[in-house]
Amino acid sequence: MRFFQEDKDIFNILSEAISEGILVVDEHQNIVATNSPMEHMFGYEKDELKGQNLNILIPQNYHQKHVGHYDGYFAESSQRKMAEGRKLSGVKKNGEEFYVEIGLNPFHIYDKVYIMAIVMDVTKRIESENVIRELNEHLEDKIKQRTKALRDSVAQLTKEVRLRIEAESQAKIALQKEKELNELKTKFLSMVSHEFKTPLSSILTSSMLLGKYTEGEQQPKRDKHINTIKGTVRNLNGILNDFLSIERIDSGKIDYKFAKFNLSKVFNEILYDANMTLKSGQKIQFPDDIDEYVIAQDEKIFKLILSNIIGNAIKYSPENSTIFIEVAFKENNNFLFTVRDEGIGIPKEDQKHIFSRYFRAQNALITQGTGIGLNIVKSHVEDLGGTISFESELEKGSVFKIELPNKTKS
């Protein structure tokens, strides 16, 4: 409790600055701090929740299960979204239950572990999803009815069999495309919300903790949180750049600018950026003769392509692994770039979709990502007159090969 007693004013200023509810509990599930959105959400007066057990906010029939879940999570102490994929309920002071979404962030203060929960009331969203699901079911019934009507008409009008079949086929395709588009939009909005909210929660938590370390000997702790914020902002910037790239690709607004440059220059820049994300013991091995290669291409897009492939190799490879980069100049005046990792690999059943926009392999879902990077890379490579291919084996790694023309004659 000493942390919250000594720094109560700072915590109040930071916690009241956001609209979501904030709840902090200790290892015994005792509530040690809340903000006003949290109190208002559950119908309590100011400071009324402090000192209460966490069970006061959990429906009675979930109490026994929650004890096991909490002990398991407390032992792991990892930042994550609580019970992802399941609907969670909270209980207000008046006994009313409602749906909530909870993000958990553990932190240590004075050798004690606390859990910060960011709580949102998602009742309206759940109700909207139920309405959408009912509308979709109704739409599917209408599709079935329409398909049956079309088939009956074909049987009755034998002279128009061919035309009716074509019309039915076109209708099915149009309806399927519309359904896929709606699903894609829903998936996109959900992905964007998650990809931005999690990093922002991390920035908020690190910012709050950063202000606690004021002594000179606490500089390593300050540096740790500063680096967390820098890395998170860098990831957010990468996500935004990916979205901007998609818009430019789809609108055909990309104006490629070709010029000669040394491969070593771009590779050094990629290596510098990659060092920020390398895991413990990871290393990147470049060709020894990289200084000898000069290519004529769009330097900015070339860097984007290789950075994405190398970034994926780092992200999906374990600690103490090596990412191997190879470069070869072919007789057809093309350059062949090979990136090989020792990572988790891509499941065989997912490989045919790996370049599809927003697609993510089943074994990569727990790792942060948007599922648009490889789609952007493939679009740029093909626009530049090149090709991209890969081979992958589960739990053994992947090999990506990119062949790009040397634009010396353009």
CATH at 274: 3.30.565.10
Each residue's pLDDT tens digit, 180-209: 656 655 555 555 555 555 566 666 666 776
Domain final residue pick, 123, 142, 171: 123
Strands 322-329 and 283-285: parallel
Sequence-distant (≥ 6) Cβ neighbours of residue 12 within 8 angstroms: 35
Tokens for 198, please give them: 């999690």
Contact status, residue 34 vs residue 50, Cβ threshold 8 Å: yes
The identity of residue 267, as a single letter, is F
pLDDT attached to residue 82: 55
CA 362 vs. chain centroid, Å, equals 13
CA distance 330 to 169: 47
Kindly state whether residue 17 falls inside one of the protein's structural domains.
yes
Q: Residue 36 sits in which domain range?
A: 2-123
Could you tell me if 260 and 400 lie in one domain? yes
For residue 119, the number of C-alpha atoms closer than 13 Å in the C-beta half-sphere is 27
Q: What is the mean pLDDT of residues 11-40?
A: 84
Expressed in percent and rounded to 5, the helix, strand and coil fractions of the chain are: 55, 20, 25
CA distance 298 to 302: 6
**Strand 397-405's sheet: what is its strand order?**
283-285, 322-329, 334-340, 397-405, 387-393
pLDDT attached to residue 321: 95
Q: What is the mean pLDDT of residues 52-78?
A: 74
Q: Which of 25-39, 236-250, 357-371 is predicted most confidently?
A: 25-39
pLDDT attached to residue 151: 76
Number of domains in the chain: 2
Token pair 């015994």: residue: 28
Kindly state whether residue 172 falls inside one of the protein's structural domains.
no
Each residue's pLDDT tens digit, 254-292: 788 899 999 999 999 888 888 878 889 999 998 988 888
Lowest pLDDT segment from 238-242, 254-258, 279-283, 308-312: 238-242
pLDDT attached to residue 181: 54
Tokens for 84, please give them: 């992802």
Q: What is the mean pLDDT of residues 77-100?
A: 76
The identity of residue 94, as a single letter, is N
- Is residue 348 within a helix (H) or strand (E), and if so which, with residue range? none
Instruction: Report the percent of the chain where pLDDT is more than 90.
Output: 32
The identity of residue 113, as a single letter, is V
Each residue's pLDDT tens digit, 204-230: 666 776 667 667 677 777 777 676 676
Find the Cα–Cα–Cα–Cα dihedral 91, 97, 102, 107, rounded to 10°.
0
pLDDT attached to residue 150: 79
Domain final residue pick, 123, 146, 169: 123
What is the reported pTM? 0.47
Residue 53's nearest CA partner among 67, 43, 68 is 67
Residue 400, pLDDT > 90, answer: yes
- Is residue 119 within a helix (H) or strand (E), and if so which, with residue range? strand 112-121
- DSSP string for 201-243: HHHHHHHHHHTT--SGGGHHHHHHHHHHHHHHHHHHHHHHHHH
Domain final residue pick, 70, 90, 123: 123
Q: Residues of 35-58 as b/e, b for ≥16 C-beta within 10 angstroms?
A: bebbbebbebeeeebbeeebeebb
* pLDDT band of 410, cuts 50, 70, 90: very low
Instruction: Report the percent of the chain where pLDDT is more than 70.
Output: 71
Q: What is the mean pLDDT of residues 22-50?
A: 91
CA 286 vs. chain centroid, Å, equals 29
Residue 304, pLDDT > 50, answer: yes
Q: What is the mean pLDDT of residues 33-45?
A: 92
* pLDDT band of 103, cuts 50, 70, 90: confident
Sequence-distant (≥ 6) Cβ neighbours of residue 211 within 8 angstroms: 10
pLDDT attached to residue 366: 63
Strands 112-121 and 97-109: antiparallel
CA distance 180 to 186: 10
Each residue's pLDDT tens digit, 104-132: 888 887 778 888 888 999 999 888 888 88
* pLDDT band of 233, cuts 50, 70, 90: low
Tokens for 159, please give them: 């002279």
Tokens for 298, please give them: 């769009």
Residue 241, pLDDT > 90, answer: no
First-to-last C-alpha distance (Å) of the chain? 69
* pLDDT band of 9, cuts 50, 70, 90: low
CA distance 320 to 342: 10
Better-scored residue on pLDDT, 331 or 71: 331
Q: What is the CATH number of the domain that holds 43?
A: 3.30.450.20
Kindly state whether residue 388 falls inside one of the protein's structural domains.
yes
Residue 133, pLDDT > 90, answer: no
Kindly state whether residue 115 falls inside one of the protein's structural domains.
yes
Kindly state whether residue 188 falls inside one of the protein's structural domains.
no
CA distance 157 to 297: 60
Secondary structure letter of residue 278 according to DSSP: P
pLDDT attached to residue 260: 93
Kindly state whether residue 136 falls inside one of the protein's structural domains.
no
Kindly state whether residue 141 falls inside one of the protein's structural domains.
no
- The CA distances from residue 103 to 80, 142, 144, 194, in Å, are 6, 39, 41, 11
CA distance 200 to 49: 26
Other C-beta atoms lying within 10 Å of the C-beta of residue 116 = 21
Better-scored residue on pLDDT, 174 or 245: 174
Mean pLDDT of the chain: 80
Kindly state whether residue 203 falls inside one of the protein's structural domains.
no
Could you tell me if 258 and 118 lie in one domain? no
* pLDDT band of 327, cuts 50, 70, 90: very high
